[in-house]
């Protein structure tokens, strides 16, 4: 006769494997529930500042420190909205105004990294807008757009207050390349 075989501690039955899998799954679920509970309590206790700190952390991993703030002043509603949507889809923060006075109000409320303005506005000019920005101490990148030809000396430093002068219709990809290569001056 053959000797009786002792139970091998290393071998396991399907039931043992199932129990082990259930224990591991239960541990993962419990751990996830605890983390979720803690995060929920932190959000409840600290609210918006806590959530914003995580957004800032993820933004830091993902791209630059903060989105570029852009002011668009354009009296043509279709052009204004098209440009606004184009820039927002590329993660720019955009404020848009339809005339000089509304643009000046934005300048007085917020700081902008870039100002894109039509030259011929119904209640003034883009030159007045950029001069007001400079008077307020804002050294934002200035981009003038116009359907009319510019004088020959617009590219001379300091003549108009704008850094770039683009003719309509504006090539949005070119505009974005100007925004990206220019250091943020605020």
- Residue 23 three-state SS: helix
Is residue 56 predicted with pLDDT exceeding 70? no
Structure confidence at residue 186 (pLDDT): 47
- Taking the C-alpha atoms of residue 93 and residue 112, their distance in angstroms, rounded to an integer, is 9
DSSP conformation class of 149: P
What is the mean pLDDT of the segment spanning 147-156? 67
Of residues 59 and 146, which shows the higher confidence score? 146
State residue 157's pLDDT score.
52
Predicted pLDDT at 11 = 60
Answer whether residue 4 shows pLDDT above 60. Answer: no
Task: Using pLDDT thresholds of 50, 70 and 90, give the confidence band for residue 123.
Answer: very high
Highest mean pLDDT among 31-35, 36-40, 66-70: 66-70
Residue 59's pLDDT band, with cuts at 50, 70 and 90, is: very low
Cβ-proximal residues to 164 (8 Å cutoff; 6+ apart), any chain: 141, 142, 143, 144, 178
Domain boundaries, the chain: 14-63, 69-181
Read off the pLDDT of each residue in 125-143 and give the average, rounded to a whole number.
94
Express each pLDDT in 68-110 by its tens digit.
999 999 999 999 999 999 999 999 999 999 999 999 999 999 9
- State how far the Cα of 43 lies from the Cα of 185, in Å rounded to an integer: 34
In terms of DSSP H, where are the helices of 5-111?
14-62, 77-89, 100-109
- The pLDDT of 155-173, averaged and rounded, is 82
Name the most confidently modeled range: 24-33, 51-60, 64-73, 94-103. Answer: 94-103
Given a cut of 70, whether residue 12 has pLDDT beyond it is no
**Mean predicted lDDT score pLDDT of the chain:** 81
Cβ-count burial of 178 within 10 angstroms (0-12 exposed, 13-18 middle, 19+ buried)? middle
pLDDT (0 to 100) of residue 158? 61
Assigned fold of 69-181: Rossmann fold (3.40.50)
CA distance 47 to 114: 32
Residue 24: partners with Cβ closer than 8 Å, 6 or more residues away: none
């Amino acid at each position: 006769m053959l000797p009786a075989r002792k139970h091998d501690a290393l071998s396991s039955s399907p039931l043992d494997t199932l129990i082990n899998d259930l224990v591991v799954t239960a541990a993962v679920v419990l751990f996830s529930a605890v983390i979720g509970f803690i995060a929920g309590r932190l959000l409840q206790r600290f609210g918006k500042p806590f959530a914003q700190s995580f957004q800032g952390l993820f933004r830091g991993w993902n791209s630059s420190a903060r989105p570029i703030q852009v002011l668009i002043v354009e009296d043509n509603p279709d052009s204004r909205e098209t440009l606004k949507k184009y820039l927002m889809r590329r993660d720019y923060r955009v404020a848009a105004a339809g005339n000089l006075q509304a643009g000046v109000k934005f300048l007085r409320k917020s700081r902008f990294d870039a100002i894109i303005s039509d030259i011929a506005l119904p209640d003034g000019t883009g030159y007045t807008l950029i001069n007001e920005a400079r008077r307020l101490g804002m050294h934002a990148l200035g981009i003038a757009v116009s359907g009319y030809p510019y004088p020959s000396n617009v590219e001379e430093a300091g003549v108009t207050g704008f850094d770039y002068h683009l003719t309509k219709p504006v090539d949005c990809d070119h505009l974005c390349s100007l925004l990206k290569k220019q250091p943020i001056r605020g």
